[in-house]
Chains A and B, each alone.
Chain A
Amino acid sequence: MKFLDLVTMGLRNLIRRKSRTILTVLGVIIGAASIVIMLSLGFAMDKNFKTQLEGMGNLMVITVRPNWGYSADDSASTGEVYLNEKAVESFEKIPNVEAVMPMKDVYLRISTGRYASDTSVIGVVPEMMDTFGIKVGEGRALLEEDQYGIVLGAYVQEEFMDMKKREPWKTRGQAEIDVFNDKLVITKDMNYGGKLRQGETRSKLKKYKLSVVGKITDQFSENSWNSYMNIRDLEKIEKDAEKVEKIKNKNKNKNIYNSIKIKAKSLEDVEKIQEAVKNMGYQANSLMDYQKEMKKTSGMIQMVLGGIGAVSLLIAALGITNTMIMAIYERTREIGVMKVLGANIGDIKKLFLFEAGMIGFIGGLLGLLISAGGSLLLNKFLGGMAQGQYYMADDVTTYVSYIPVWLYGLALVFSVVIGVISGYLPARRAMKLSALSAIKNE
């Protein structure tokens, strides 16, 4: 028997039993749609959280901090490891590391006239800013040749306060300062420009002429809180300050850098690199940690929701089996005649499996269309509600329901497989049916 003939015959049989086929298909539609919609809720959670994390920073970046020895389970905590040039070199040797950037973190005051804004300034390697996801929204990124160039954090501008006032914080955000053109200085003197209290003398800490090259505009990124400067300039500021404050070398922190950032080549490498760094005795964090946690939660929610959907598909499967068994009773004579006329028992089995699989396929296909529509409606009408649950910029879409393309494919294949499995027993029964009963005269 040719495959095309099998298909035509199967389709004709389904069309012949129109109402029953439609009802059975309806069951599969509901089953497939409910599974897909239920799973899509979980996938939406995943997706939203991922977008949120991506907004917060680069998922492929690992932040290394010195281990202060307070993590109870860490046996390496007693080891003498510091964040210095040697550490940078050893991190670079870890496989699948794309880049390593040492970072210094100093709290500084930016000042113009009577106004000043305090910010944490991070010393970076200029050409690595982009690699590590520090996105400059206005102006440009740092260049190696910039002298005391700075990329301002998202909140620096609104933190300018009138330091001559008695309660400067009340003037927050009032000053109209053009950071790109006004003359700005930066200093480690955190009282610069402010009123001196009795007995206080003006600090001898140096002031440096600052040139703002760019500004970060992204508000939700973990990078938004800081300003960025060439690490070379920042080290100079630190060294000058040490001279003024006469800090003795013996007490000096052996950690030259506050943190070191490592960028992995791909998402899959993050965990391994992080593990390697931890084994060296450092503390290492990445946004992947959150994501892993979140994946666990959403995975569980998905299992519960998917389980509910699966129940309806199971009922649909029973419906298919029922329909096919009915068909066998109805077609006993026909099957017998076909056998006597030379039909292979394998062909008869295939015919029934095809019919059952077809019910699954049509049901699955229509179910997918319905779930695609349902997903669209959910996002349209409930999308706003979900927005509030995540820290995301307003222009980023929040999903209530998200169906990845592969889920469509999987659901369709699943529906067909369910159909074929449901049809298997009836098909075997049809195959074993005695041809004799068909030619018996009644």
Chain B
Amino acid sequence: MSEIKIKNIRKVYRIGQEKVVALNKVSFEIKKGEICCFLGTSGSGKSTLLNLMAGLEKPTKGSIVIKGTRMDRLNEKELAKFRQNYLGFIFQSYNLLPALTAIENVAMPLVFKGVSKKKREEMALKTLRNVGLKTHVKHKPTQMSGGQQQRVGIARAFVGNHDIVFADEPTGNLDSKTSKEVMELMVDLTKKNNQTLVLVTHDRSIATYADRVIHILDGNIENIELKDENGEFMSIMDEIEVLS
């Protein structure tokens, strides 16, 4: 069974009098435990796709089913609950709350979930250790490097042990060495907990970490590649076209 199933998604923005088609009839599936990467240039519609999957925006047409739930039909309150239970987020610019320490930032999603202070600090500390930041527990974001901040961001996304983690250009603000470390960390955590990781990037090298790469161009899926046992990517576009 697929974890995420997108069917015939269309998203149109209205800018003044003009209509801009961000996504044009997009369909795909992501399986549980998979690392899926959306690859495309800026303006291709890949970020819109992520927003739709995260329930931050509603599609103009089509259906989004995540874990058997029609995301596009949930109201704000149900969405909040859904995010609490199933979704983790990693941002390009980390988006840590500057007033809070590393451990408090990591524990943030648990606060909204109503987890007790003692329990959530325990969980946050454990996750911070897992991302290799046990010495920076009480540091504020401004006292940490970009790589360290993103590790906090990753810890925050993984602390709730969510089934699905979304990452929007997670290495966009990092140098190549740190990018590599961060990517390996995310892949490692995802595989260890059998979670599903959905990445959005324009960086080809990031895509090599994925099991499934979906190429987006001008609001359409250009190609879908799957990694085989040898680590080679194979296009499955032809099969899909035959199926549909």
Residues of A participating in the B interface, judged by any CB pair closer than 8 Å? 1-2, 4-5, 9, 12-13, 16, 333-334, 337-347, 434-436, 438-439, 441-442
Contact = CB atoms under 8 A, between A and B. Distances in A.
Contacts of B117: 4-5
B95 A333 contact: yes
B83 A342 contact: yes
Cβ-closest 6 pairs across A and B: A342-B84, A342-B83, A344-B80, A341-B109, A343-B112, A342-B112
B63 interface: no
Given A1-B111, A441-B92, A341 B83 contact: yes
A2 B116 CA distance: 8
Given A12-B99, A16-B99, A347-B112, A339 B80 contact: yes
B43 interface: no
Interface string B226-237: 000000000000
Contacts, number: 69
B12 to A, nearest CB: 16
Interface string B71-113: 0000011001101100101011101010100000000110111
Contacts of A346: 77
B90 to A, nearest CB: 10
A5 B109 CA distance: 12
B214 to A, nearest CB: 20
A340 B77 contact: no
B112 A337 contact: no
Contacts of B99: 12-13, 16
Given A343-B112, A344-B112, A345-B77, 10 more contacts: A13-B99, A337-B97, A338-B108, A340-B56, A341-B108, A342-B87, A342-B113, A344-B77, A345-B76, A441-B91
B141 to A, nearest CB: 12
A340 B172 CA distance: 19
B80 A342 contact: yes
Contact of B172 (A13, A337, A441): A441
Contact of A441 (B56, B77, B89, B93): B93
B97 A2 contact: no
Contacts of A438: 95
Interface bracket on B: 20 to 34
Contact of B57 (A1, A436, A441): A436
A345 B80 contact: yes
A13 B99 CA distance: 8
Contacts of B92: 441
B87 to A, nearest CB: 8
B56 A341 contact: no
B16 interface: no
Nearest to A343: B112
Nearest to A6: B111
12 contacts: A1-B112, A2-B111, A2-B116, A340-B56, A341-B83, A342-B87, A343-B112, A344-B81, A345-B80, A435-B56, A438-B95, A441-B172
A227 to B, nearest CB: 78
- Most-contacted residue by chain B among A334, A337, A345 (CB, 10 A): A337
Nearest to B94: A337
B5 interface: no
B30 interface: no
B212 interface: no
B207 interface: no
B11 interface: no
A140 to B, nearest CB: 71
B111 A5 contact: yes
A1 B117 CA distance: 11
B156 A341 contact: yes
Contacts of A435: 56
Interface in B108-140: 108-109, 111-114, 116-117
Contacts of B56: 340, 434-436, 439
A338 B112 contact: yes
A439 B91 contact: yes
- Most-contacted residue by chain B among A5, A339, A341, A436 (CB, 10 A): A341
Contacts of A16: 99
A339 B57 CA distance: 13
A342 B169 contact: no
A9 B105 CA distance: 12
A343 to B, nearest CB: 5
B36 to A, nearest CB: 19
A111 B84 CA distance: 99
Contacts of B109: 341-342
B198 interface: no
B51 interface: yes
A441 B92 CA distance: 7
A2 B110 CA distance: 10
Given A5-B111, A12-B99, A347-B112, A340 B89 contact: yes
A439 B95 contact: yes
B197 to A, nearest CB: 16
A438 B84 CA distance: 18
